[in-house]
Amino acid sequence: MTPALSRAAACGLAGCQICGRVSPVALRRCPRCSSRLHLRKPASIERTVALMIAAAVLYIPSHLLPIMTVVELGDVSENTIIAGMITFWKEGAYPIAIVIFSASILIPFLKIVTLSWLCAAATGRVHPSPTVLGRMYWFTELLGRWSMIDIFVVGIVVSLMQLGNYMTITPGPGALAFAGVVVLTMLAAMSFDPRLLWDRLNELSAAPTPNPRNPTA
């Protein structure tokens, strides 16, 4: 059995979030880059949950309200994200429809669900195994790398639809709500401190767990 190693946090040491240097947290600021030092991000879970709730609230109008208003030869039509995706699908532009579905519907939804689950795990409301927790965190990091694809898709759609003087496109209220979802989920991911997950695992491994097959053990 390997001896338990003392943890940096227990010794009052914190890693800088910007440059990675480990310094005494009593210094308050990193001696190398002057950014703030703290053992864990202050109110990380509370901030993340608040931002996730705001993102979830905006997620509904981002799909129900028109994302763009198209004026074509005097005809005015309003399109939601889902209607635009269906139009591309019906016209045979399957890759564009799939990219729109992934970027605007699936990825924001998965970001909200996985971050909420990680918050629940960090606060002890769910009790995953370390392997499951590690995989979920890896998945959340993977989603984070694709977070800018949402904005990329809006750029593609607008550039595809720009047809000079024959057609005028103006963003609708759905675009504002959608931009809100993208920004809020990014801020929520930045607010979450993953070290809270490993703290929780350390607490669980330190606490004596009763064996259901042998309660006396």
> Which listed range, 17-25, 85-93, 111-119, 201-209, lies at the site for Zn ion (CB under 5 A)?
17-25
Task: Return the residue of 8, 11, 19, 83 that touches Zn ion, per CB under 5 A.
Answer: 19
Q: Are 68 and 79 in contact (CB under 8 A)?
A: yes
85 near Zn ion (CB under 5 A): no
- How many residues contact Zn ion, by CB under 5 A? 7
CB of 28 to Zn ion, least distance (A): 12
Closest CB to Zn ion among residues 32, 127: 32
DSSP H helices, the chain, are 44-64, 81-90, 94-100, 107-122, 130-145, 149-161, 173-191, 195-206
CB of 32 to Zn ion, least distance (A): 5
Beta-bridge mates of residue 77? 70
> Which listed range, 10-18, 59-67, 89-97, 110-118, lies at the site for Zn ion (CB under 5 A)?
10-18
Calculate the CA 167 to chain-centre distance.
35
CA distance 99 to 84: 12
16 near Zn ion (CB under 5 A): yes
Closest CB to Zn ion among residues 41, 111: 41
CB of 196 to Zn ion, least distance (A): 21
Closest CB to Zn ion among residues 12, 130: 12
18 near Zn ion (CB under 5 A): yes
CA distance 106 to 88: 17
CB of 14 to Zn ion, least distance (A): 10
CA distance 96 to 81: 12
Q: Are 188 and 48 in contact (CB under 8 A)?
A: yes
CB of 44 to Zn ion, least distance (A): 19
Binding letters toward Zn ion, positions 25-64, x by CB under 5 A = -----x-xx-------------------------------
> Which listed range, 22-30, 153-161, 172-180, 184-192, lies at the site for Zn ion (CB under 5 A)?
22-30
Instruction: Kindly report the backbone phi and psi dihedral angles of residue 72, in degrees, each rounded to the nearest multiple of 5, phi listed first.
Output: -125, 110
Pairing of strands 75-79, 167-171: unpaired
22 near Zn ion (CB under 5 A): no
CB burial class (10 A; 0-12, 13-18, 19+) of residue 90?
exposed
Q: Which residues lie near Zn ion (CB under 5 A)?
A: 16, 18-19, 21, 30, 32-33
